[in-house]
Amino acid sequence: MPIPRPCRAELLRRHFSGSAVTRHGDVTRPEPGTGIKLNFKDAKGQLIKTIEANEGDDILSLAHEHDIDLEGACEGSVACSTCHVIISPEHYDLLPEPEDDENDMLDMAFGLTDTSRLGCQVRLTRDLDGITATLPAATRNMFVDGKKPTHH
Amino acid sequence: MPPIKLAIIGGGPSSFYVASRLLSLLPRDGAQSSALKVHVYDRLWAPHGLVRYGVAPDHPEVKNCTHKFDQAAQDPRFRFFGNVQVDTQSSSIVPNAMALPLSSLLPHYTHLLFSTGGSVPILHPALPPSDHVVRALSLVHWYTRHPSCPPAPPLDKISHITLIGQGNVSLDVARMLLTSPSVLEKYDVPESVLDVLRRSAVKHVSIVGRRGPLQAAFTVKELREMMNLGDASMVPLDPALLKPPSDAPLTRQQTRTLQLLQKGSANKPGTTAKTWSLDFFRSPTGLVPPAQLMLTHTMLDSAARAVPTGATSRLDTDLVATSLGYRSDPAQTFYDPALGHLRTASGRIIDAAGRVYRNVYASGWAAMGARGVLASTMMDAYAVADTILADHFPGRVETMAVSPAAPHEFVETQTHMLPEDADLESVPREVAEGIEEGRVVEYGQWKAVDAEEVRRGEVRGKERERMDWNEARAFLEARTSKHA
């Protein structure tokens, strides 16, 4: 069953609450072996990491939780295209259709494909177990002396 | 390995994304952490460039990116100096900014990055600024309380406004003019602006472009917002304009634009007191006093350029606002008039022969021209940060997306403009004095003003109440004396 995303009014309320850095939905990690499996791949198709998620977690929040280099400039309010990911086709078809505002942002995403989505709008359900989110080609992944970038 | 001490000219999103990327790629606890300092200079007293002084007030979500900028600014290796205008001529200095020649800055830095954006609006040759012709940017600066402080438009005396240009700036301005102040008042709209909007007599906004719906620069989100305006409706378009061409496949965005235009506005035509129109295939040729716009009708040639059909018409209006794009400040050292911005290759500033100015870079609109959304600015900024590191740590950088630094020829006469090593803590004397005198704003001071603006907004039940520089300075002085 699709899980409703936060409505715009709620996002505005969050914005006006004046709270400091609020991440888009912080996530808690499930007990190992019990969660929904999500694979992150880089643009070349190499597996970055397989992680486990709870029902309802969104891909952007999961990427942040697991130090995957996926940006969320507007913090999940569907006002940018920085969290664009490419979904495995067999799982893409299981997702609810993107709404107009998500499509408006996908229009401007770099490297758009037929199975592109905004990571912030993809919430995991049990039937998505094994889903893959591939970072688009422009996403960079760079290390100096093997040091991974830290999230500020 | 000598440290990177980077001065970034400009404190908009491109600048902050480069800074953020550098600070996170050389983590504070890592071996290379002490090898980095980033100093951001902005000609305005407040940081964040177009995020503060360009993003429309009813798009608060877009401003969420400043949380990441704040995080970068918390890094002790980062400093911000507002109200310092580097490398310009007296004609382009913004009010209150201190002018700092490049020659005063360079001895203190090993690396230089221009993230100066595209600050100069392109004018229409047939529509020079006058009492009846303004730049749309002046309207944006009016409703964002930009330090350039343009006068408020006389909205109480006019009923018809014509915007020239069909990009998102035009749609932002149109939306501000056609949205009820009772909707806008909860956002980051200054009270002085709301007062003018409440007295507005504007009934119609025409948005004129010399090409058609498939060539318009606006994006679907902004068009959809126009269609959903609560108090206004769109004048229906000639259906012939909305037929997809049979010869060329449409992009996804073009298809969705056409669908939206075919559907028309949520409010049916004739049901609202206020209206707006998209006037396609019209090119202004002049203004008959006081404000009758002469238009040439146009069509597309085989290269999709607008050419006259021979027909003309006139449009009675009260105020014309031109919104035809932007270029970088021509007073800048590396400005290339042919490009309208700085000449770069992979973020490195080059001369006309393709030779590289060592350790001098540009990012964002200063490098690419004024186009694209926040996501494209961010990706460009990250690429430039990666290039800076790849140049500085040759052979020690693993990257999958940036092509390895190709051997390049350096511009010999300019290679000594930046020292190879610099005192990590030093700043130009003028800047140090400006900080002492309270004329130069550092990030901590900005955050205090930011919090106070939000507090003043909360009192009025709105997102924030903006300060101008005089108010901010008075607030900061009172705060300093309280803490002294």
Q: Which band of pLDDT confidence, cut at 50, 70 and 90, is reported for residue A144?
A: low
Question: Nearest to residue B357, comparing CAs of B405, B411, B420?
Answer: B411
- A144 contacts in chain B (CB < 8 Å): 25-26, 30, 32, 389, 393, 396-397
Residues 45-64 in A contacting B (C-alpha not used; CB under 8 Å): none
Domain shared by B203 and B290, yes or no: yes
Lateral strand order in the sheet of B292-300? B282-288, B292-300, B306-316
A107 closest CB neighbour out of B20, B68, B219: B219
Domain span including residue A78: 34-134
| B373 contacts on A by Cβ (under 8 Å) | 80-81, 108
DSSP B140: H
Which residues, other chains included, contact B114 with Cβ-Cβ below 8 Å and sequence gap of 6+?
Answer: B8, B9, B10, B332, B334, B342, B349, B360, B361, B362, B363, B366, B367
Q: Is the pLDDT of residue B296 over 70?
A: yes
Residue after which a domain boundary falls, among B274, B308, B323: B323
- State the Cα–Cα distance between residues B456 and B472, nearest whole angstrom: 12
Flag whether B371 is in a domain. Answer: yes
Residues in chain B with CB shorter than 8 Å from the CB of A135 are none
Query: Do residues B284 and B412 both lie within one domain?
Result: no
pTM given for the model? 0.92
B227 in Cβ contact with B234 (< 8 Å) = yes
pLDDT of residue B180: 97
Contact with chain B for residue A113, Cβ under 8 A:
no
Rg (CA), chain B: 24
Which of B4, B23, B373, B386 is the mutation pick for testing A, counting most A CBs within 10 A?
Answer: B373
Q: Mean of the pLDDT values across residues B51-57?
A: 98
Query: Percent of chain B beyond pLDDT 90?
Result: 82
Both structure tokens of B31 = 């071996």
Q: Which residue has the higher pLDDT, B70 or A19?
A: B70
Query: Quick check: A112 and A84 in contact, CB under 8 A?
Result: yes
Q: Is A85 on the interface with B (CB under 8 A)?
A: no
Q: B14-53, pLDDT tens digit by residue?
A: 999 999 999 998 877 777 667 899 999 999 999 999 999 9
Higher pLDDT, A142 or B357: B357
Query: For residue B86, what are the β-bridge partners?
Result: B100
Is the per-residue pLDDT at B400 higher than 80? Answer: no
Query: How close B251 comes to chain A (CA, Å)?
Result: 9
Structural domain contains residue A77: yes
What's the pLDDT score for residue B416?
Answer: 59
Predicted pLDDT of residue B353: 86
Task: Provide the domain limits for residue B44.
Answer: 4-119+327-439
**Two tokens, residue A58:** 């969104």
Do B304 and B339 reside in the same domain of the chain?
no
Query: Is A3 a member of any domain?
Result: no
Residue with tokens 């009923």: B159
Residue in B163, B188, B182 with CA at minimum distance from that of residue B174: B163
Q: Is residue B399 predicted with pLDDT exceeding 70?
A: no
Q: Does residue B196 have a pLDDT over 90? A: yes
Looking at the complex, report in whole angstroms how far the Cα of residue B71 sits from the nearest Cα belonging to chain A: 6
Number of independent structural domains in chain B: 2
Does A64 reside within a domain?
yes
Rounded to the nearest 10°, the torsion over CA B474, B475, B480, B481 is 70
B401 and A CB contact within 8 Å: yes
Residue B280: Cβ within 10 Å count = 23
Residues B281 and B374 in one domain: no
- Specify the pLDDT at position B413: 58
Q: B-chain residues within 8 Å CB-CB of A109?
A: 375
Of B24, B61, B224, the CB nearest to A152: B24
Substitution target in B55, B400, B403 with the highest count of A β-carbons within 10 Å is B400
Interchain CB contact of A150 with B (< 8 Å): yes
- Percent of chain B topping pLDDT 70: 95
> What is the C-alpha separation between B136 and A2, in angstroms, rounded?
43
Which residues in chain A touch residue B400, judged by CB atoms under 8 angstroms apart? 42-44, 140-142
How far apart are the C-alpha atoms of B464 and A141, rounded to whole Å? Answer: 37
In a domain, A114, yes or no: yes
Q: Dihedral, CA atoms, B205, B210, B214, B216, nearest 10 degrees?
A: -50
CA distance A98 to B213: 24
Q: Tell me, what CATH number does A66's domain have?
A: 3.10.20.30
How many domains in chain A? 1
Close Cβ partners of B40 (under 8 Å, ≥ 6 residues apart): B8, B10, B11, B15, B16, B19, B47, B78, B79, B80, B81
Q: pLDDT grade, residue B420 (50/70/90)?
A: confident
Does B68 share its domain with B97? yes
Assign A15 a pLDDT band (cuts: 50, 70, 90).
very low
Return the structure tokens found at B445: 């001071």
